[in-house]
Amino acid sequence: MILETLSWLCLVLGGLLGVIGGIGMHRFPDFYTRLHAIGITDTLCAALFLIGLAFQAGLTIASFKLFLIFAFIFFTSPTASHLLANAAMLGGLKPVLSDDDVANSEQLDKP
């Protein structure tokens, strides 16, 4: 009973985190902030889903395979986000700055 409750709690929290990441992707103004929202939430979302599924599977080979999937996602997702941001920066994509940031950067550029 407790494992099933923990399993459903992890699955529901993972789903909510995925929805929050999707909302962040649509609401944030530029590529970099959207990438940050998705990069953070997709790793934790996948972790919660996989933990919930491991609770459902019990202590079996399936839970070990779920752990291996999590280890793969844990290392590849942040690396992919970093590489995407680096490629965008090298490609010349500038982040959207607020008015205060623009005014501060213009003052710094003046001799």
Task: Give the helix ranges, DSSP H, for the chain.
Answer: 2-27, 31-57, 61-90, 99-109
pTM summary value = 0.73
Give the residue-averaged pLDDT of 64-69: 92
> Could you give the number of structural domains in the chain?
1
Q: What is the per-residue pLDDT across 71-109, written as a single tens digit (0 to 9) for each?
A: 999 999 989 999 999 999 898 888 887 665 555 555 555
Q: What is the mean pLDDT of the chain?
A: 85
pLDDT of residue 76: 92
pLDDT of residue 16: 93
What is the sign, positive or negative, of the torsion defined by CA atoms of 25, 28, 30, 34?
Answer: negative
pLDDT of residue 111: 55
**Which structural domain, as residue segments, surrounds residue 11?**
2-109
- For residue 11, pLDDT over 70 is answered with yes
Q: What is the per-residue pLDDT across 20-31, written as a single tens digit (0 to 9) for each?
A: 988 988 888 888
